[in-house]
C-alpha cells in the first residue's frame, strides 16, 4: 500500500509532562509538519503542589499559546472592587496595612495546579504523550538526539527539549558535571508550610479572631523578619491556598540536614511555634491547617547556557526558582510560547533547528536569569532582609508598588521577532516597525 503522508519537516522529543511541557506540546501539535512526542515519568499526568499564581506576563503567554479559554474556565481572580490587586501587604505581627501591588486587568490570577494541567491536557491530541518514561540519559550525534528511559527503551528525534523539572536528567547532558561542576538544585534556606482551607471556614476563623473576613478572599501577604505568609483563593474561591515561609539566614550557605526529604508532613505545632506572636489574621489562618506539609524550597544557580547542539533545557530544568514572585510557572509558559513560535515557523527545518534553539537561548537567557535572581531577592524583601531597606516599612512599601512592573510588562512577541532576526527569517527593519 502506498502512503500519501508527507514526511515531517522536523521531529521533536519533549522530556517532561508538567504545565510547561504540556503547553509546549499542545502548541507544537497544531503544526502538521511536526512529529511531536512527549515523555512523562509518571503513569499519568499529575501535578504536586496546590495553588499557582500567574502574573500578567504569564496570562499573556497563556493567551498567545491559545489556551486562554481552558484557563479562564478554572482561574480565580480577586473579587470586585479588588480585581486589580495582586497582593495586599501587611505587617505580620499586627495585620497593619502597608500597601498593595496592583496588576491592572489581571490582579491575582491563580489556579489549582492539577486543575490547570488537566485543562491544558484536554487540548493535547492522542498519540503524543507516553507515560512511565523516566529519562536517565541523553546522547546525541550529527543525526539526532536520543533520550534513554529507565524501562530500557529510547527515543531519537531531530531535537530534544528538556522540560523535566528541577531534578532534570537532560540538564546533565547539556552541562556535564564533570566539566562544569555541580549545577544542580540547592536549598534556598527557606521552608514553606503549605495548606488549603475552605473559604467559609477561614472567613469564620478570621471573624472569631477579630480580623476582617474579607482578608480570606483578597490575596494577602503578611510580612516579618525571616518569615512571611501568603494567602490567595483557588478552586473558584472555594479554597484558600496558604503558604507560610521561614528562612534560615544564620549562615550564607544553609544546608538541608542529611537525608531530609524535600517535602514532609509535620505537626501543626511546629508551624504555630514558628509564627508565635504574630497577629490575629496569621493565627486564624494557621490554626485552620491541622496537617501542614513542609517544603524545603530549592532553586538552581544561574546556568551559563541552556543549549547544546540538538538539546535544549527550558522551564524549571533551566531556571528553577523560589516562588516569591509567583513567576516560575510563568517562565515555563513564556519559554513554551517563544520556542513553539520558532519551531512552528515554516522556515524551521531539521537542517536549521539547532540554530533555532541557539536563537531561543540568546533571547531568553538574560530574562530567565533575572527572574531567578529577583525571585530570591523578593523573599529577602518580604522578610525584612533586603539590602538598604531591611525593616524600613516606608521604603519596603514603595519598592513593592513598582517592583514587578519589568517582569509583568514584558512583550514575548519581541523575543520571537528578535530570534527571527538572528536566524535571518526577518529583517531588522521589519522587527523595528513591528
* Active-site residue (options: 60, 194, 308, 420): 194
DSSP 194-244: EEEEEHHHHHHHHHHTT--GGGGTS-EEEEETTEEEEEEEETTTTEEEEEE
- The strand pair at 186-198 and 293-299 is best described as antiparallel
CA distances to 71, 272, 280, 334, 357 from 422, in Å: 33, 54, 56, 19, 11
Q: What is the pLDDT of residues 153-201, one digit of tens each?
A: 999 999 999 999 999 999 999 999 999 999 999 999 999 999 999 999 9
Q: What pTM did the predictor assign?
A: 0.95
CA 37 centroid distance within chain: 22
Q: Which CATH architecture has domain 10-79+110-184+301-433?
A: 3-Layer(bba) Sandwich (3.50)
Please give the Cα distance from 350 to 160 (Å, whole number).
12
Q: Specify which residues 293 forms β-bridges with.
A: 194, 265
Helix or strand or coil: residue 36? strand
Asked if 26 contacts 367 with a C-beta cutoff of 8 angstroms, the reply is: no
C-alpha cell at 252: 550564607
Q: In what order do the strands lie in the sheet with 239-247?
A: 97-102, 85-91, 220-224, 227-234, 239-247, 186-198, 293-299, 263-265
Asked if 130 contacts 39 with a C-beta cutoff of 8 angstroms, the reply is: yes
Q: Which CATH architecture has domain 186-299?
A: 2-Layer Sandwich (3.30)
Which helix (H) or strand (E) covers residue 341, if one does?
A: helix 328-343
Phi/psi region, residue 188 (left: phi>0; alpha: psi -120 to 50; beta: rest), is alpha
Place of cell 480565580: 76
- The verdict on whether 194 is a catalytic residue reads yes
CA 186 centroid distance within chain: 17
**Could you state, in order of their start, the residue ranges of all structural domains in the chain?**
10-79+110-184+301-433, 186-299
- The dihedral of CA 159, 163, 169, 170: what is its sign? positive
Q: What is the pLDDT along the chain (434 residues), one digit of tens a residue?
A: 333 356 899 999 999 999 999 999 999 999 999 999 999 999 998 866 677 889 999 999 999 999 999 998 888 887 889 999 999 999 999 999 999 999 998 888 888 888 899 999 999 999 999 999 999 999 999 999 999 999 999 999 999 999 999 999 999 999 999 999 999 999 999 999 999 999 999 999 999 999 999 999 999 999 999 999 999 988 888 999 999 999 999 998 899 999 999 999 999 999 999 999 999 999 999 999 999 999 999 999 999 999 999 999 999 999 999 999 999 999 999 999 999 999 999 999 999 999 999 999 999 999 999 999 999 999 999 999 999 999 999 999 999 999 999 999 999 999 999 999 999 997 654 544 44
Amino acid at each position: 500500500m502506498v502512503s500519501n503522508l508527507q514526511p515531517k519537516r522536523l521531529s521533536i522529543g519533549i522530556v517532561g509532562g508538567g504545565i510547561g511541557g504540556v503547553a509546549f506540546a499542545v502548541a507544537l501539535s497544531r503544526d502538521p509538519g511536526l512529529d511531536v512526542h512527549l515523555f512523562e515519568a509518571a503513569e499519568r499526568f499529575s501535578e504536586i503542589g496546590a495553588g499557582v499564581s500567574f502574573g500578567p506576563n504569564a496570562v499573556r503567554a497563556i493567551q498567545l499559546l491559545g489556551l486562554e479559554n481552558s484557563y479562564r474556565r478554572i482561574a480565580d481572580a480577586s473579587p470586585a472592587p479588588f480585581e486589580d490587586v495582586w497582593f495586599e501587604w501587611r505587617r505580620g505581627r499586627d495585620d497593619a496595612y502597608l500597601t498593595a501591588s496592583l496588576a491592572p486587568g489581571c490582579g491575582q490570577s491563580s489556579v489549582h495546579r492539577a486543575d490547570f494541567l488537566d485543562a491544558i491536557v484536554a487540548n493535547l491530541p492522542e498519540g503524543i504523550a507516553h507515560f512511565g518514561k523516566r529519562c536517565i540519559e541523553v546522547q546525541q550525534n550529527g543525526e539526532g538526539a536520543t533520550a534513554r528511559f529507565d524501562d530500557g527503551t529510547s527515543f531519537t528525534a531531530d531535537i530534544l527539549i528538556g522540560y523535566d523539572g528541577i531534578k532534570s536528567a537532560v540538564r546533565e547532558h547539556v552541562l556535564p558535571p564533570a566539566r562544569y561542576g555541580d549545577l544542580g538544585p540547592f536549598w534556598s534556606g527557606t521552608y514553606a508550610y503549605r495548606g488549603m482551607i475552605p473559604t467559609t471556614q477561614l472567613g469564620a476563623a478570621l471573624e472569631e479572631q477579630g480580623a476582617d473576613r474579607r482578608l480570606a478572599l483578597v490575596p494577602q501577604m503578611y510580612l516579618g523578619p525571616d518569615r512571611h505568609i501568603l494567602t490567595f483563593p483557588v478552586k473558584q474561591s472555594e479554597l484558600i491556598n496558604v503558604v507560610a515561609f521561614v528562612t534560615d539566614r544564620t549562615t550564607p550557605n544553609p544546608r538541608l540536614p542529611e537525608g531530609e526529604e524535600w517535602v514532609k508532613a509535620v505537626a501543626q505545632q511546629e508551624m504555630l511555634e514558628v509564627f508565635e506572636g504574630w497577629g490575629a489574621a496569621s493565627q486564624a489562618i494557621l490554626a485552620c491547617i491541622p496537617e501542614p506539609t513542609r517544603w524545603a524550597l530549592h532553586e538552581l544557580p544561574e546556568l551559563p547556557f541552556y543549549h547544546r547542539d540538538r538539546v535544549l533545557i527550558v522551564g524549571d530544568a533551566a531556571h528553577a526558582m523560589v516562588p516569591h514572585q509567583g513567576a516560575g510557572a510563568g517562565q515555563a509558559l513564556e519559554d513554551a510560547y517563544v520556542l513553539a513560535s520558532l519551531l512552528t515557523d515554516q522556515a524551521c527545518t531539521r537542517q536549521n533547528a539547532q540554530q533555532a534553539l541557539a536563537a531561543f537561548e540568546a533571547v531568553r537567557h538574560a530574562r530567565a536569569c533575572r527572574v531567578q535572581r529577583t525571585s530570591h531577592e523578593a523573599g529577602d524583601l518580604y522578610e525584612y532582609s533586603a539590602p538598604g531597606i531591611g525593616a524600613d516599612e516606608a521604603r519596603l512599601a514603595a519598592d513593592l508598588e513598582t517592583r514587578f512592573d519589568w517582569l509583568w510588562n514584558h512583550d514575548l512577541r519581541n523575543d520571537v521577532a528578535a530570534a527571527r532576526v538572528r536566524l535571518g527569517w526577518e529583517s531588522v527593519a521589519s522587527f523595528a516597525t513591528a
